Structure 1
Amino acid sequence: MDLPDIVQARVSTLEKQLSKCKRQLVRLYYSDECDRFEQFRDEVFIGILKDTCALVHEAELVRAPYLAELAKAADNILDDAIAYSHGRQSDSSGLEEALYDLMPSWAHDDAQNRPLVLDKDAAKFPLAHAALESLMQLPIFKCAWVQVVKINEMTTKAWDPALKRHPKSTKLAQFRTNSSLTRTTKRPLATRVLDARCEVSSSRCSVPIRFLTGPDGTFLALTGMRGVKNRSPHWILHSQSASCTLYLLPSERYYHEPRLADVASHDFARHPHLKSQNPYLDDTHGKSALLGSTVEARRLIFLGDDDCIKSYEWGSSTEVYEDLFPVHTLDTKHYQGPMMVLPDGSVVRAGKGMLAKIKSFDTRRHDPEKIEPSSGSAPTSHIKFFDHPSSNPAPGSPSSHLLQLSKTDPHLFLSACNDGFARLYDTRYSLPVVTFHARGQNEFCEAAALAHPNNIPRSYHTTVKAEQIKCGCSRSSVRLRIGNGNNAVRSLAWDASNNSLYAATKCSYVNSSGQNRKYRPARSLNNQQRQTEYETKTGNQTNTQAAAGLSTLGTRKTISVICLTVETIASVS
């Protein structure tokens, strides 16, 4: 149906305001009035985006019958503004650079029960803690005592054992000093998660890209890179047996090398303009990311590069094969976006302005050579995006590169976004329900996982330079941070059946040849030394965050999968 006249008038007003705002931004940009330009950008430009979201939210509250049409009109305004802010429009050529490297959040509204969950400590200092020691060694900081004091006030404080919420809380966890959370016996599992009462184990792996999990949780797969300069696609299967409650036992792990022609790379390699902002992302090899999807009932995994998708059977109902059994090859040369397997067994993959659907797998795989010459099965049908004919979805796009579905509540899903935010969505609403501030100032939200202990949603999200996992809930700021030593987290996965969080990590200070650079080893201190350092050296020029037993994870591991298993209810007195 058509929009009512009064609503259409408000939409037209927002469109005119956006066009006028663009022209004014160009004038201010070339007038060398930096302060006015930034103020106008942050107040007027972002204000238009907030007003657009508010218009949609008003229609949702009254269950307006024209909500779908209004959402499309608002989507056009938001897409136009986002493209302009990143310099992807022809009318933005008047600016020599994009408006934002990372846009602030504008889809939240605390007054309308769509909160922005902040990590106040992360916003104190926009520099990775690993580089802080080097910065403090500069002569200017040694001489300027006032500057040193100010920086120490902004940095993360030393680990304080008095802040442990429970005697069994892991030493890798750091809690906020003003935590208002209270324990309850009605929801014991949620309390154990917030108390970080967990066991930590780690195991080496290839350079990680992304975790893949099945809906039933019987296996966990990790796509990655290995070989010369990490150019070869690789994946690891962690299978769960009846006698094994952890995926990380060596006897339950299987390594495979899918025979794909394109070299493997991290998702961010698709966006060099974004990658250049983060020197800690050093996996620049190749042009294609290794994508994947799974069919748990058939023991199939689909892996793809920019040219094709290949399926492999990794086991039967009674065993896991030592070697992958090749099954199908699918031709997706013009579709390089994310993929998924539908309930009817067909495979869909996104491309520019359309989807390819492959339902008839008429090619059987024969792999006598490392690279199969067959082009594979052609798409059975094509689905066009009429509302977004130029849309080019990709796992590394600035909107979101990871979706984490909720097994407990099918209406919820969590996205990890390149703008530095993790967002919790409810499919019954157009706007994000909760926005988690994850970037700390200038970082991407690298990975996110959604957990539901005792039906309470919990978000685990992480960035690269922070080298820690943050736990947040929907109504309070980040209360818990779990350190990973010198390892940056690349992917997260939550195992609800075992109450375990899996983190695929990589050390940013070790290159593909195994050489160390700018390495920051952890200092393991005993309890007396740690307490003395906390009491007497709060103004010291060294960062003591790593002193809290981070060597437990083996901080010199270059690549590893870390498992944090929450203490079971039966084991607690």
Structure 2
Amino acid sequence: MTTAPTTSAGATKRTEWDWNRKLDKLQRRFDAYKDKPAPDPDASDYDSQEEEEEKDVLWDILRSACKLVNMGQATKHSDTPQIVQQVQALINKVVELSIKKHFGYNGLRSFADRPDTLVEDSMHSFMGHPSGDRLADAMSNFMSFFGLPASPPSGRTILPWTKQQQPHPGSTRLSRFRTGVELPSYTERPLATAVLQARCEVYDAAICQPIRMALSDSGECLAVAAHAGYKSRDPMLLYWLPNEGPNPEQNSVEPPLIEPGLNIVLDDTRKLMFVEDIDRVKSFSWADKSGDPVHTLNSFRSHRGPLALLPNGRLIRGGEGSALCWTLDELETHGPDYRRIGAGVYRWDNCLRSLPSDEDEEHSTGSRPSTRITFADRGFFPRIFHLHQPSGHLLVGEDPNRGHACVELDMDHGGAVAGRYLGHAATVADFSTSEGDANVFLTASADGYARLYDRRQPLPVLTFDVEKREGPLFAAMLVHVDGLPIMFSGGRKTEGIKCWDIRAKKCIYELSTGNTSVEGLAWSSAQSTLYAATSTSYQDWIGNHFSYRDCKVPSGTDILPPKKMHNNLYWPDRAIHVENAFGYVYDAGTHVMLRYSFKEQPEPDILPIYGDARPLSEDDWF
């Protein structure tokens, strides 16, 4: 038997491993591979199996690189920060090559997970197709004839929803439960049990096409930055005050900006909503539902990135290599007479909006920033900010045109990198943190995965395969209910919201969104309510619907027919779900704000009314 080398004092000597050599070997392997032409699907000798093998080469390089990081952390190697940094650089190169070879953002399997850390949904999210019901029924009858349990046929056809799947009489019919999932005791965790059993009332409200949603820290204000107007070129700010009652009123502000912004930030202390365009940032008050303008900030066209509110009343906006910073309490405000802020006159020459008159233009150039914070990495370009409240650090996702890094920045020390988190094969689209655990955070990525991180580790603790490499994931929410960690993920292509028990590492159920894609999620602990801002893929920029067919309401089943508002009902022909995938037939028909209000004793018959979408007729074209 081989023994470990020892020192003269008899202590075990640590065997060093040459991570530089191993990383160089992976780099050489990548360099040898990158010049190979991508397979052409239209070529006569195209082989899909060869294309999968091509993806496996890149995946294996990424997996091996992450193992180096894991080894460095396990051995507490002094070079671990350097290993992580260089591995991230290699990941960027491999992912970019994968995209160029037409594999896309969803071409790579998850590569940073360790054994037993990849969590998958037991049911495929694509619940059927136009003939799915007939196929499922035929298979069920065939199995029953031989006395065997019914099971769905191979492929993506899912058996119809049945009432027996529901764990509780109060479980909403707009939920679809997975089998073989154990739930916690009701007496120990009453509210958590209600959430995990989908005991909720479901409400919807039509909205403009959402871009990004935010809920204030206190839960007092919920706001959505949205598209509106001709060809969706106009910015719109929608907001609700959930604490005012069970059915909060929808309020709106039309910001005088030249385009819809991608970012929104809420300030609880000052009751302000911040939105932006490429040149300026504007704030509006939600106090008394006034929507009054308060600030205009000048970002000089050099900083067109995300917004974040830092401690001590500082607002920042990111750009390449730095962030501009304003101290809010020192800024000039518009006042009741809406006076202009800043020197000079702002020009609307680059505006693509259709403004009826000059009165709708606002010409404040805006307040200049107090300071500029230069990042330690001068070439870093942020795409999304999220303040990690306990540490005061910023969680940042890199702009996809520059890379796919996820880092933690200490803005009080010159934007120094306080942590790097690996595993993303596309841009980070959303961050989520929870008061229940100060050391963890969740990311949603355009590669279709949600990842749970411990800030003390560079690799994900858990990876959730939400979209099954079929589409991007733009929204995921980490919450603690009765101390139990739960994740909600919002599908874009899969058109639904999944609830995951993090401790059990299982998907518990899926909530219907009425055939709409989830753009944002928010959880109000005060109201025990999940909010989802969703958009429909079956409506064009002037409001016409397309790809609709007759709705086939199933008969002789447990499925509840829709609450009818019209004689004729229609269903999207390309919808991911068929009509009987859930226990209530529901198509939103437009962009909606969905509200899932969880209660120990809900009224499960509270369900949204069926939308009014219909196929285009000849009259719609003239």
| TM-score where L is the length of structure 1 | 0.78
Q: Specify the SS of the correspondent of 2:517.
A: strand
1:328-347: CA deviations, max 9, x gaps? 32324111221101112222
Partner of 2:162: 160
Partner of 1:328: 296
The 2-side partners of 1:228 and 1:192 are apart by 43
The 2-side partners of 1:221 and 1:337 are apart by 19
Partner of 1:273: none
Q: Which structure has the highest helix share of the two?
A: 1
Q: 1:486 aligns with which of 493, 501, 515?
A: 515
C-alpha change, 1:20 and 1:556, in structure 2 (3 Å) is closer
Letter in 2 for 1:543: V
The 1-side partners of 2:325 and 2:528 are apart by 35
Partner of 1:293: 265
Partner of 2:594: 562
Letter in 1 for 2:251: Y
Q: Specify the SS of the correspondent of 2:476.
A: strand
5+ residue gaps, structure 2? 1-15, 135-150, 341-358, 385-396, 401-425, 561-576, 605-622
Correspondence list, 1:293-372, <5 A:
293-315=265-287, 320-359=288-327, 362-365=331-334, 366=338, 369-372=359-362
| TM-score where L is the length of structure 2 | 0.72
The 1-side partners of 2:285 and 2:38 are apart by 60
C-alpha change, 1:456 and 1:104, in structure 2 (3 Å) is farther
User: In the alignment, is the contact (CA less than 8 A) between 2:284 and 2:291 conserved in 1?
Assistant: no
Residue 254 of structure 1 pairs with residue 283 of structure 2: no
1:78-119: CA deviations, max 9, x gaps? 1221222223xxxxxxxxx434341333344342x5x11112
Give the superposed CA RMSD.
Answer: 3.3
Letter in 1 for 2:107: M
Deviation at 1:196, TM superposition (A): 0.6
Residue 377 of structure 1 pairs with residue 376 of structure 2: no
Partner of 2:526: 497
Partner of 2:130: 133
Letter in 2 for 1:341: L
User: In the alignment, is the contact (CA less than 8 A) between 2:282 and 2:293 conserved in 1?
Assistant: no
The 2-side partners of 1:31 and 1:109 are apart by 37
The 2-side partners of 1:414 and 1:357 are apart by 26
Residue 469 of structure 1 pairs with residue 497 of structure 2: yes
Q: Specify the SS of the correspondent of 2:60.
A: helix
The 1-side partners of 2:548 and 2:445 are apart by 28
1:99-148: CA deviations, max 9, x gaps? 4341333344342x5x111124227x6xx85xx228999xxxxxxxxxxx
Partner of 1:280: none
Deviation at 1:210, TM superposition (A): 1.6
The 2-side partners of 1:481 and 1:469 are apart by 5
C-alpha change, 1:187 and 1:392, in structure 2 (3 Å) is closer
The 2-side partners of 1:67 and 1:547 are apart by 48
Letter in 2 for 1:194: L
1:263-284: CA deviations, max 9, x gaps? x2xxxxxxxxxxxxxxxxxxxx
Percent identity (aligned): 26
User: In the alignment, is the contact (CA less than 8 A) between 1:221 and 1:236 conserved in 2?
Assistant: yes
Letter in 2 for 1:498: Q
C-alpha change, 1:38 and 1:27, in structure 2 (3 Å) is closer
Q: Specify the SS of the correspondent of 1:401.
A: strand
Aligned residues between the structures: 495
Correspondence list, 1:197-212, <5 A:
197-212=199-214
Letter in 2 for 1:255: S
The 2-side partners of 1:430 and 1:8 are apart by 18
The 2-side partners of 1:11 and 1:312 are apart by 51
Residue 56 of structure 1 pairs with residue 85 of structure 2: no
Partner of 1:22: 34
Q: 2:476 aligns with which of 448, 451, 460?
A: 448
Partner of 2:460: 432
The 2-side partners of 1:28 and 1:543 are apart by 35
User: In the alignment, is the contact (CA less than 8 A) between 1:487 and 1:506 conserved in 2?
Assistant: yes
Deviation at 1:388, TM superposition (A): 6.1
Q: Specify the SS of the correspondent of 2:159.
A: coil
Residue 549 of structure 1 pairs with residue 584 of structure 2: yes
Deviation at 1:9, TM superposition (A): 2.2
Q: 1:228 aligns with which of 214, 227, 230?
A: 230
1:404-456: CA deviations, max 9, x gaps? 22232232222221111112222121112211112234211132222211222
User: In the alignment, is the contact (CA less than 8 A) between 1:122 and 1:441 conserved in 2?
Assistant: no
